[in-house]
Amino acid sequence: MLNVISNVPFLVIGIIGLILCHYGNYFKLSLQGEVWGWTFFYIGVAAVGFGSSYYHLQPNDARLVWDRLPMTVAFTSLVAIFIMERIDEQKGTASIIPLLLAGIISILYWRFFDDLRPYAVVQFVPCIALPLMAILLPPMYTHSTYWLWAAAFYLLAKILEAEDKPVYELTHHVVSGHTLKHLSAAVVPVFLTLMLAKRTIETERVSLFMVWRSSWTKVRKDEIRVQSSEYHVVSNQE
């Protein structure tokens, strides 16, 4: 039953995100493509609340389609959003429908041909590509680190899913890893919603990698300067 109840946060944050996307443009989305991309994302998140609950009430392959489909909509929407923000606005907008269709087709292919490979590509490639893009490509907006926090919680969710039984035993059969996986995964749209609420247009588009590199270089220079000063003090004392 906890595997069902733990899906409620998806429904809540999905509905909140949809409202904030369209009510007075609270997120201040500057591109029409972004409005569509984030709308599909939050629709996918809200639908996870229904689809995953429906599956866990009576697990079987027919119901699993409705568990995986909303997640695929959310994933593919994020890829399109990233293309808009980090590569090209028009290409990102044009990619929304093809990416959504690719995700849906991967689900249908699995259902009819019992082959998970296309679905695995649709699900796991973004898990690798999006954090890398967040680090390496200059952002259009501030608060890019929220993408990495979201990715970290999704990674935690996958770990909890893989360690389902050990977590269940560790908690003395109170809560399973799969239930905690739902809660951890629900934190992902929470971070992205906070990012949308806080961010502004980035005036100086510098990638996180370059920011980190600059900070590391400055730290190293400060360390060398301190060591040099200490050396001169010791030398003068001698």
Residues making up the binding site for Zn(2+): 56
Q: Enumerate long-range contacts of 126-132, CB under 8 Å, 24 or more apart.
A: 126/75, 126/76, 126/78, 126/79, 127/151, 127/154, 127/155, 129/79, 129/82, 130/78, 130/79, 130/82
Spell out the residues 6+ positions from residue 108 whose beta carbon is closer than 8 angstroms to its own. Answer: none
Residues annotated within a binding site: 56
Distance, CA of 100 to CA of 229 (rounded, Å): 59
Distance, CA of 73 to CA of 43 (rounded, Å): 8
Distance, CA of 102 to CA of 100 (rounded, Å): 5
Token pair 């003090």 is at which residue? 233
Mapping DSSP to helix (H, G, I), strand (E, B) and coil, where does residue 196 land?
Answer: helix
Distance, CA of 222 to CA of 238 (rounded, Å): 24
Q: What count of Cα atoms within 13 Å lies in the side-chain half-sphere of residue 149? A: 13
Structure tokens at 22: 């369209």
